Chains A and B, each alone.
Chain A
């Protein structure tokens, strides 16, 4: 019979139970969905890396011979090696292609989406699937690939993904890939034309006449002269890569850099996405689940407390405490079980799949799928338990009383002691409604606390959501307005001649820079890779201090390091940094003469003059210019032209996507906050109905009574805002500082406007909910209310 009562009660309180159901469902959906998506990303990549045999290390150099390859292969722990020529080429319609000429395809194997797999003798090109899709290229189409003097018309043999190209950008200053303009392509090494190599060799040997060349070098095999600039290595035991690295350094003098795959851009970016996501989204979904649970708890408490008389009656009828408790626990139990199952299901199929698909349109990786995380089940079970426990505690506090007490009436047990302070003189000056509310708050500490916690949480979420947007906007401004004080960035070809460079200078000015890849050796002898930004760009590239105020570039007697690098390495001004350029074993020691802040790159900065004083040759790799290039697609000896405005627009496009997400978060925060305020409002209303009815009998106007009622909720809102605003800032700051990848240096920067919106928003929502609740006062039926029973 009690089961019947339970279902009928639920039906009667349908809106409450639907709320509970939805809150638990949404909370668990958010949590488990996001976990599933994060784990899915990891699983998907791990599988792809393993099945398609991602390399463990890469060796970069000018040219690796057959012998070099053999040398590495013979090193202990090396399982397999493969060399390739990777160059940046273009297509006939001015897109940039990262072209790889390969001999075989056992390391970083193709995942063939369409077409056929690699064959050394096949004539044609295997093309980046994303690039192909963006440019509407199909298997069988012919594309033109150009690099230096090579110009190849190739048939597309296959559309592929490759494990070391999940993420590709032309330049690290581009934060997200532009697949329409930039992609990768693979060709067999056999596709390199003999004539091209021959003419290159002739040039080097200074032979003009083909006939002379042919007579002198009768057994010239052009294949011996093909340049390979990197070697991919697959090892047996990843943990022993350092030994392999040292041995290669010893044996291969032409190895410029040896990188573990975990340090490559594609890998780092993908992993960063997972790590960042885990913290960001973890915090959001955690906070969210917390507020959702708070609203469930308050709803449950409200429902049970409203059944006070019925609990008393059941007890009077002889139902044991256990039976009554069991009955009420059942209320939340079945609902939360159903809601949890629905939440887990939707989390996986809705949130997980949606987000994974979103990521998979960004990262080029096949078979993306969500992966259920164990913690999701634990959270679901915990949620069910928490609801049960809360019901238990609420029910028990009522059951602890004698049934006589429970049934006596709803007039709450006023304990004099705790209220004594309110009998103080100071209080006598306050208005009746203030005293009344102070006493009410003191008597209902837990309820007040829950209300403040809930509203604070919501205020925090709003501040944090708006704050993230602000901070990102601030970052865009800092990067693209303050630090980058130019319109175009030209990446100069590597082998440019002096005179060609001068031609460029004449046209676009001589504001240049060079980035040196270096290794820093610390006091204990450990080496870490980093880079030095050598500036000869005047105020085209500017610098800021910790407070984002402009500072001038370093003097010619030392280096700047970024704040974050200084922090992690514990550098102080005056400290010395010892470093060497990759491929050069000369070590230099530089004095730190200042710090600068860089949001995207934690490195060292020096001037051209300082570099030249160290007797290092300065050959720039970048020109900065304000010459209008809006109609120019291609410049001789310039690999890529980057338009700062386009970069900025790209960033802002990403921000607007983020906006949609944040709007969603804010709406949900508002919804949850409203539910909490509503529940606690009803709870306090029910307790006070008797008193309100009395006031009404005494002749108080509804308006006056409403004012008393709303007052308390306003207090709660104000206190919550006071706590929520700074906490919101700290949360945002924390997210930016700890959750973000190592080479970023972001901080929260929240505008006054956002604080105001959050504060006013929170208050208005609370006020509206109180206002709605206070309408109940119009409907108080004095007679029945004062009887004190249902």
Chain B
């Protein structure tokens, strides 16, 4: 049994909308192990992105604690959060969010500006199959290729946690599967990969499936028999 890397205790997040308060997360308790391939499922507006943003240090909790290893990032100040994001977290967004004016390899090399990494841009690009596009600008790539740039960028820093918000949401199923394969490979390399999606098929390949609804964890179970990506019918 692996030790829990991530432990959330009674995490609440409320947004002020005008005069009213809106509770996006309402007492979330979670444990996630290191190296797990986690899928978070839930209807739109359930609070999935909110949860992911809190995990990634992009937003602050209203109350509760988020332990990453020894540290409670809920208590971090802005500077500590920045360091945390720079060193430990990789993000993958639905719309890639790569720098349009940097080439593929430059987008990946950008990471060297925020953290020390022993990875080589070339190797990382090779691992996502983008070596031949290294000199291209993002606008010259397909959606799937762009998402792979964003994966390469995340992988480049060798993060503890890889957070993906609907990474395949904008992709067709074939390219989506390719992207998932790459993400799965990271989990096999001991990175904890957390994917937010509303595509329940993806859940079939996960080690752990967390269901969220109305800001609460509905279920949190380990998948005893995760399938290979090839086995899933998209």
A1-15 vs B: 1/0 string, CB under 8 Å? Answer: 110110011011000
Q: Are B18 and A317 in contact (CB under 8 A)?
A: no
| CA gap between A320 and B157 in the complex, in Å | 16
A409-436 vs B: 1/0 string, CB under 8 Å? Answer: 0000011110000000000000000000
Question: Beyond A5-B106, A321-B78: 18 further Cβ-contacts under 8 Å?
Answer: A1-B109, A4-B106, A5-B99, A5-B102, A5-B110, A316-B58, A316-B97, A317-B91, A318-B82, A318-B86, A318-B89, A318-B114, A319-B114, A320-B82, A404-B53, A407-B93, A787-B95, A787-B170
**Interface residue? A272 (CB, 8 A):** no
How would you classify the secondary structure of chain A's contact residues: helix, strand, loop or mixed? helix
Q: Are A318 and B99 in contact (CB under 8 A)?
A: no
Of chain A, the residue at the smallest CB distance from B169 is: A787
Q: How many B residues have CB within 8 A of the partner chain? A: 40
| CA gap between A790 and B146 in the complex, in Å | 13
| CA gap between A787 and B85 in the complex, in Å | 25
Of chain B, the residue at the smallest CB distance from A399 is: B78
Residues 1-23 (chain B) with a chain A CB within 8 angstroms:
17-19
Of chain B, the residue at the smallest CB distance from A327 is: B113
B81-107 vs A: 1/0 string, CB under 8 Å? Answer: 011111101010111011111100010
**Interface residue? A743 (CB, 8 A):** no
Do A321 and B110 form a contact, CB below 8 Å, given A5-B99, A402-B58?
no
Q: List 11 A-B contacts (CB under 8 A).
A: A2-B113, A5-B102, A310-B100, A312-B97, A313-B93, A313-B97, A318-B89, A318-B115, A416-B17, A416-B19, A790-B95
Q: Are A1 and B106 in contact (CB under 8 A)?
A: yes
A320 CB to closest chain B CB (Å) equals 5
**Interface residue? B198 (CB, 8 A):** no
**Interface residue? A557 (CB, 8 A):** no
B105 CB to closest chain A CB (Å) equals 10
Q: Are A309 and B97 in contact (CB under 8 A)?
A: yes
Give the 3 A-B CB pairs with smallest separation, nearest first.
A318-B86, A416-B18, A8-B101
Residues of A within 8 A of B97 (CB): 309-310, 312-313, 316, 407, 789-790
**Interface residue? B160 (CB, 8 A):** no
**Interface residue? B112 (CB, 8 A):** yes
Of chain B, the residue at the smallest CB distance from A316 is: B91
**Interface residue? B144 (CB, 8 A):** no
Q: Are B99 and A313 in contact (CB under 8 A)?
A: yes
Q: Are A318 and B85 in contact (CB under 8 A)?
A: yes
Of chain A, the residue at the smallest CB distance from B86 is: A318
Residues of A within 8 A of B106 (CB): 1, 4-5
Do A323 and B58 form a contact, CB below 8 Å, given A317-B86, A317-B91?
no
Within 8 Å by CB of A417, from B18, B89, B100, B109, lies B18
Q: Are B58 and A407 in contact (CB under 8 A)?
A: yes
Of chain B, the residue at the smallest CB distance from A9 is: B101
Q: Are B114 and A317 in contact (CB under 8 A)?
A: yes
**Interface residue? A315 (CB, 8 A):** yes
| CA gap between A404 and B55 in the complex, in Å | 11
**Interface residue? A46 (CB, 8 A):** no
Residues of A within 8 A of B53 (CB): 402-404
Residue numbers of B with Cβ under 8 A of A are 17-19, 49-50, 53, 56, 58-60, 78-79, 82-87, 89, 91, 93-95, 97-102, 106, 109-115, 153, 157, 170
Q: Are B102 and A1 in contact (CB under 8 A)?
A: yes
Q: Say which size band chain A's interface belongs to.
A: 20 to 34
Residues of A within 8 A of B157 (CB): 318
**Interface residue? A742 (CB, 8 A):** no
Within 8 Å by CB of B82, from A2, A312, A321, A790, lies A321
Residues 211-239 (chain A) with a chain B CB within 8 angstroms:
none
| CA gap between A319 and B19 in the complex, in Å | 33
**Interface residue? A405 (CB, 8 A):** yes
Residues of A within 8 A of B79 (CB): 320
| CA gap between A414 and B85 in the complex, in Å | 28
Residues of A within 8 A of B170 (CB): 787
| CA gap between A578 and B170 in the complex, in Å | 95
Q: Are A310 and B86 in contact (CB under 8 A)?
A: no
Q: Are B18 and A415 in contact (CB under 8 A)?
A: yes
Residues of A within 8 A of B99 (CB): 5, 310, 313
| CA gap between A417 and B94 in the complex, in Å | 33
| CA gap between A42 and B130 in the complex, in Å | 68
Residues of B within 8 A of A2 (CB): 110, 113
A597 CB to closest chain B CB (Å) equals 63
Residues of B within 8 A of A4 (CB): 102, 106
Q: Are A1 and B110 in contact (CB under 8 A)?
A: yes
